[in-house]
Amino acid sequence: MQQQNKDKKKKKDERDLRTPPSLASGGIPDPTPAYQQLSALPPLALKEPRKLLVVIDLNGTLLHRPNKRHPSRFVERPHARQFLAYCIDVFHVVIWSSAKPANVASMCNQLLTGEQRSRVVAIWARDKFGLTPTDFVARTQCYKRLHVLWADPAVAASHPDAARGVRWSQQDTVLIDDSLEKARSERHNLVEIPEFVSSSDNDGAVATEVADILPQVHDYINECASQANVSAFIRERPFRALPTSQLLLGMASRPER
């Protein structure tokens, strides 16, 4: 049994191997000096919470695809729909996945109602990473360059103060993802959570997560909403998932705004 587990892990590691993006695809990004300087400032709490741009990953974060032979079948992370509904009601949400557009559409169709989709700022898939055609079809490491997202006209227009020229930035954005590497260019905006996986039994794929991760993320991003500089807050106090949860977090509650 132990050897079987080792063999499974080895196969998974081999499947997870990624090649760096080519220079034509943007190469491997680093944080800019300006980003590092602003995130190095001391955190400052606000008197009242404010709107955030919440960028949410799909596979490994909200759900898991246990069998690539069935690309439209997914197992949801516990509380995924409730968490996503809360974020859409309270914040401005972008869904950003490195999966291909058709798979992203399938995942969103499972998690979201049509009305909820209409209130999501943007849904980005693999075609939004600036990859060359060769890198697009290869097992290429993707990087979620938040500055590219902030510069997008539709995303920029969603800021509550867009009419006054205010744009989303590292000060009011969180990225919820299971990959630290994908957040390389703006890592202090990352709420890194454990990768969600599932296992199979005789009835099919089932969720195996014990800890209530997403209710903990719910509380954490509400703390971020009360910070003047999200990147400074996350740098000083990054999200740490507890091994267990009391599940008394009440995602139905709404902070005053």
pLDDT in tens, 154-192: 999 999 999 999 999 999 999 999 999 999 999 999 999
Q: Give a yes or no: residue 17 inside a domain.
A: no
Q: Give a yes or no: residue 37 inside a domain.
A: no
Q: How many domains does the chain have?
A: 1
- Render pLDDT for 83-106 as a digit per residue (tens, 0 to 9): 999 999 999 999 999 999 999 999
- Render pLDDT for 41-77 as a digit per residue (tens, 0 to 9): 999 999 999 999 999 999 999 999 876 666 668 899 9
Range of the domain at 221: 47-236
Q: Give a yes or no: residue 23 inside a domain.
A: no
| Cα three-residue angle 38-43-49, rounded to 5 degrees | 110
Q: Give a yes or no: residue 6 inside a domain.
A: no
User: Where would I find the beta strands (DSSP E) of 52-203?
Assistant: 53-56, 63-64, 75-76, 92-96, 122-124, 173-177, 190-192, 198-201
CATH code assigned at 187: 3.40.50.1000
Q: Give a yes or no: residue 214 inside a domain.
A: yes
Q: Give a yes or no: residue 36 inside a domain.
A: no
Residue 242: the pLDDT is: 83
Phi then psi dihedrals of residue 100, to 5 deg: -70, 155
Instruction: Check if the beta carbon of residue 54 is closer than 8 Å to that of residue 176.
Output: yes
Q: Give a yes or no: residue 25 inside a domain.
A: no
Q: Give a yes or no: residue 9 inside a domain.
A: no
